[in-house]
Structure 1
Amino acid sequence: MFIAVQFMELPKSSEKPCRACMSVEELMRRARELASKVKAKTDTSNGASSSNDKKQEKMVEEGKPMRADCPLDTEQLGKSTWNFLHTMAAYYPEKPSEEDKNNARIMMHLLGKNREEFSIWMCEMHNRVSRKLGKAEFDCSLWKQRWLDGWKDGSCDY
């Protein structure tokens, strides 16, 4: 199986930024650079910047913490994915049963399905584990907000 974040892309119809394509730190660095360029341009054109500009620049510099349940950035996704795959391989039986082999094939086959099917399947599997542990289940119809675009209220927006 091959997973490389740099090759991930959103559907062509998406107008949202690819959250998994760069880390929040990289995004904030780019925002600071852009803010500095805009500030320099504003300062030279009208001699000063407004207090609102200063507030916005300060928020960018501070890197306000985001919600814990936002889509992963590239560093979080990469580390988590490789940890999962290596752990899965490390615990794979030395002498796998036919069921073990079949389950591994299903897992790899599902990775080749389309995004919607795989994401809903993954959510349903997560909910099965949550039920066994007595935890709340996740509404799988919200998978795009939780794992791709961020919440509609904008709380995960950069």
Structure 2
Amino acid sequence: RAELGRATWKFLHTMMARYPETPSAEQRQTLHDFLFLFSRLYPCGECAIHFSNMLKLYPPQTSSRLAASEWLCAIHNKVNERLHKPIFDCKDIISQYPCGCSDGTDNVESTLNIPDAALN
């Protein structure tokens, strides 16, 4: 359970650090939907319920990379408080989660050369 949690937080923080600085309405909706679906599919039932409840209390902030990253860090710290773990420093959160990917100017659609029509 602890290993799954660490991997999940790393994945989510890295995803937020790669989220667009100025996302489109579609990207904002996609992130919102992803988080709610993720909470429903998370393999740890107790954690899934807790995360789902947190999403209802603290709706995802999707307006920018910084907003999304800081929102997730705050959620992570609420979980840490509940589990009596140390509070994570959210200062410079984006730079703490590099993925080793490209510079961020591309996205999955352009990388895979998927026609826009195929994505709708």
Q: TM-score, normalised by structure 1?
A: 0.29
Give the TM-score, by structure 2 length.
Answer: 0.36
Structure number with greater Rg is 1
